Amino acid sequence: MSDAREVLELDVVFVGAGPASLAGAYHLGKLVEQHNETADEPLEPMIAILEKGAEIGAHALSGAVVDPRALQELMPDDWQDAPFESIVTEEQFFWMTENRALSLPVPPPLKNKGKYVASLGKLCKWLAPKIEELGIDVLCEFPAAHALVEDGDDGPRVYGVRTGDRGLDHDGKPKSNHEPGVDIHAQVVVLGEGPRGTLAKQLEPKLGLTDGRNPQVYAIGLKEIWQLPEGRIQPGYVAHSAGWPLDSRTFGGGFIYGMEDNLAIVGLVVGLDYENPLLDPHGLFQKMKTNPHLRELLDGGTMQYYGAKAIPEGGWWAMPQSHAPGVLLTGDTAGVINGQKLKGIHLGMKSGMLAAETIFEGLKKNDLGPAQLATYQHRIENSWVKEELWPARNFHQAFEKGNLAGFLQAGLGMVTGGRGWGIHNRLHNEPGHARMHKLTNGRSYAPTEVAFDGELTFDKLQNVYNSGASHEEDQPVHLLVADTELCVTQCAEEFDNPCVRFCPAAVYEIVDEPSHATGKRLQINASNCVHCKTCDIMDPYEVITWVPPEGGGGPNYGKM
C-alpha cells in the first residue's frame, strides 16, 4: 500500500483507446518516425494512451460497417490486413411491422458498397501492437478520472489528467492494496473517451466548449452476436430496418450484419430523445427479434455476446468546440458521427489523425500553445470530415417532430445540400432528456411489453452475463446519484423511475425500504454496468453522473 501520488511527465496523452485515439497515436508516431529519418534534430516526444478497460478493445462497441477511407490514409500499405469480417456483399432495407418485414429499395445514405463488416473490438486489438512498435505506451486499466486544469494567461488550461485510485472499499476507504491514481502531466491531452466522456463533461462548462452549440443528442445502440446454423447468413450481408417496434415518435432502427463463421450481428438503435417515459430500449430490442423474419433467421442459433453503448447523433451543429488550451477532442467525444449514414469509425479515426498532425506541427515548432491547437478546427473544416458531416447537419433535428418529418427532412436534405426545409442552414433541437413526457400530464403511455423465453429473447441479467461485464465488488459505486430522495418521490410520481427501464443492464432498481416514508429506495447494482452512459444522458433530472470505476472493470467486448 502506498499513499504517495506518482507524477508522470509526458508530452501527449490520449485518453481512451478507441479508434480515434489509436489512429491518432499511430499517425503521430509515424509522422515523428518519418521526420527523424532526415532531421538534424530528432523529435522524441513521450506519448501514451490510457485505457480504462482490462485490454484494448474490451470497451469498444459499434455496429459495425466500416468505411475504410481513414484506414487507407493511415496505413496505405497495410490497411487490407485489418481484421475485417468481409466486404459488404449484399444489402437490404426493410420496413418492419409486428408480423412483416417489407423489403424496400435501400435508401442512398444506407448504401454500403465498398464498406466492410467488422468487429470494432478486433480492429482496435489489431491496431494496438502497431502503436507500441512506435514506442508509444498503451496503458490498460488506467481510467482517466479527472482533468487537471490550471489558470493560464489565456484562461484555464488543461495540463494533464489524474487516473482513478485502485483499492478503495465501498465507502471510499483505502484497502490494503490501495494505490492512489497517477497524475499524468502533458503538453496536450487528446480526449477520445467515447460518447459523454467523463473528462469532457468536466471540461465543457469550465472551457465553454458547448457554448453556442446545439445540445448533443444521443441514441443507445443495443447489439447481440448470434451463432447461426451453417449457411444461414453470408459474411458481408447488411440489412437495416425502420418502423416496428419503434413508435412513430421514436428515432431509430434495426440492423443485421453477417460476420465470418456463421455469426450474425443483430441490433437496434433507439434515440435517447424519446417521449414515452415507460419505454424500455432493451425490451424493444428483444421484441424486435420476435418479428417472424428475425425469428426465422435466429431459429436454431444461440446468442453469444451482448453489448450496449450510447451514440452521439447530434451532427455538425452539436459538435463541441474541438480544442482549448492544452486539450483536443476527437471521435465520439468530438461528436464526429454521420447519423444519416450510421457511421462514425472512419470519421473518428480521421479526427484523431488531424489531431496528430496539429500536434506534430506544434512539436516541430516547439509550440503547443492555444493558437497552435486551434489550428485543429481549421484542419477539421478543411478535411473530408466536414465535407461528409455538413450535408447531414440537419438530419437528426427534424426527428423531434416525429419520424415522418424526419424522413421528409432527410429526403429534402439530399436535394438541398443538407439545408432541408426552411431558409436557415441550422435547425435547433432540445436535449434528449428534456423531451421525456411526465406521466402527470394526463396522457396515457404504453409500457414496453415483451416476454423473455431465454432462447430468442433475454432479460437484462442474461444479457449482462453475455456482455462479460465484471467489476471489483468492494469499491465505491461509480454511478453517482446526487439526490436519491428525488427518486422515490418526485421521479416516481412524474416518470415512474425511467432509470429502471433505460438502463440496459438492470443497474437501477427500486426496492422496498420499510424505514422510508414512501416504503421504497433506489438500489444501484453497479457491477452490472456495461458503461453505455445512457443514465448520465437520459435521466430527466440530470442527477446521475457516471464516473469510471476501478481500472479493468466493465464489459468485455473484445469480439463485438
Member of 530, 539, 540, 553 binding ligand SF4 (CB under 6 A): 530
| Options 80-88, 270-278, 344-352, 529-537: segment touching ligand SF4 (CB under 6 A) | 529-537
Which of 394/463 has CB closer to ligand SF4? Answer: 463
Closer of 210 and 534 to ligand SF4 (Cβ)? 534
Which grid cell is 46?
Answer: 513521450
Minimum CB separation of residue 471 from ligand SF4 in Å reads 10
When asked if residue 128 is in the footprint of ligand SF4 (CB under 6 A), the reply is no
Q: How far is the CB of 386 from ligand SF4 (least distance, A)?
A: 31
- If binding is defined by CB under 6 A, does position 479 make contact with ligand SF4? yes
Distance CA 202, CA 168 (A): 22
CA of 73: how far to CAs of 78, 350, 353, in Å? 10, 9, 9
277/325 with CB nearer ligand SF4: 277
- What is the distance between the alpha carbons of residues 158 and 191, in angstroms, rounded to a whole number? 11
Please tell me what DSSP assigns to residue 66: E
Cα–Cα distances in angstroms (integers) from residue 203 to residues 146, 156, 214, in the given order: 9, 10, 17
Judged by CB under 6 A, the stretch of 10-18, 369-377, 450-458, 531-539 that binds ligand SF4 is 531-539
Listed ranges 70-78, 211-219, 514-522, 532-540: which one lies at the site for ligand SF4 (CB under 6 A): 532-540
Contact between 505 and ligand SF4 by CB under 6 A: the answer reads: yes
CB 270 → ligand SF4: shortest distance, Å? Answer: 13
Fill in the per-residue mask, 142 to 181: x = in contact with ligand SF4 (CB under 6 A), - = not in contact: ----------------------------------------
Q: Are 195 and 312 in contact (CB under 8 A)?
A: yes
Contact 245, 284 (CB under 8 A): yes
Nearest distance from C-beta of residue 474 to ligand SF4, angstroms: 18
Per CB under 6 A, the list member of 162, 166, 379, 533 interacting with ligand SF4 is: 533
Stretch touching ligand SF4 by CB under 6 A, among 21-29, 200-208, 251-259, 499-507: 499-507
Is residue 29 helix, strand or coil?
helix
Piece of the chain touching ligand SF4 by CB under 6 A; list 68-76, 162-170, 429-437, 523-531: 523-531
**Quick one: angle between helices 370-381 and 345-365, nearest 10?**
140
Q: Tell whether residue 503 is a contact of ligand SF4 (CB under 6 A).
A: yes
8-state DSSP, 554: B
Question: Minimum distance between the CB of residue 389 and ligand SF4, rounded to whole angstroms?
Answer: 26
From 40-48, 79-87, 210-218, 525-533, span contacting ligand SF4 (CB under 6 A): 525-533
CA 280 to chain centroid: 19
**Of 312 and 362, which CB lies nearer to ligand SF4 in the complex structure?**
312
Buried b (16+ CB within 10 A) or exposed e, 70-92: bbebbbeeeeeebebbbebeebb
- Which residue of 200, 282, 531, 556 would you call a contact of ligand SF4, by CB under 6 A? 531
Per-position b or e across 340-377, b if 16+ CB within 10 A of its CB? bbbbbbbbbbbbbbbbbbbbbebbeeeebbbebbbebb
Distances (CA, A) of 74 to 70, 115, 176, 322: 6, 16, 45, 21
Q: How far apart are CA 111 and CA 385, in angstroms?
A: 19
Total residues contacting ligand SF4 by CB under 6 A comes to: 13
Selected binder of ligand SF4 within 204, 532, 539, 556 (CB under 6 A): 532
Shortest approach of ligand SF4 to residue 531 CB, angstroms? 6
Interface of this chain with ligand SF4, residues 415 to 474, rule: CB under 6 A: none
Q: What are 7's strand-pairing partners?
A: 183
Nearer to ligand SF4, 175 or 521 (CB): 521
Give the residue with the Cβ less far from ligand SF4, 59 or 115: 59
Strand ranges inside 140-262, DSSP E? 144-152, 155-163, 166-168, 174-179, 183-185, 188-191, 218-227, 237-243, 252-258
Q: Which residues pair with 104 in a beta bridge?
A: 93
Answer for which of 265, 546, 558, 560 binds ligand SF4 (CB under 6 A) is 546
- Is 279 a residue that touches ligand SF4 (CB under 6 A)? no
Count the residues in the chain: 560
End-to-end Cα spacing for the chain: 36
Q: Which of 23, 507, 522, 560 binds ligand SF4 (CB under 6 A)?
A: 507
Stretch that binds ligand SF4, among 51-59, 98-106, 389-397, 500-508 (CB under 6 A): 500-508
- Given 535, 556, 557, 560, the residue binding ligand SF4 (CB under 6 A): 535
The reply on whether position 188 binds ligand SF4 by CB under 6 A is: no
Sequence-distant (6+) residues with CB within 8 A of 525 are 506, 507, 508, 509
Output 214 or 534, the one with its CB closest to ligand SF4: 534
DSSP labels for 343-390?
A: B-HHHHHHHHHHHHHHHHHHHHHT--SHHHHHHHHHHHHTSHHHHHHG
Task: Give the binding range for ligand SF4 (CB under 6 A) out of 17-25, 35-43, 65-73, 526-534.
Answer: 526-534
Residues 6+ apart with CB under 8 A from 411: none
Q: Which of 214, 340, 429, 534 binds ligand SF4 (CB under 6 A)?
A: 534
Site residues, ligand SF4 (CB under 6 A):
479, 503-505, 507, 529-535, 546
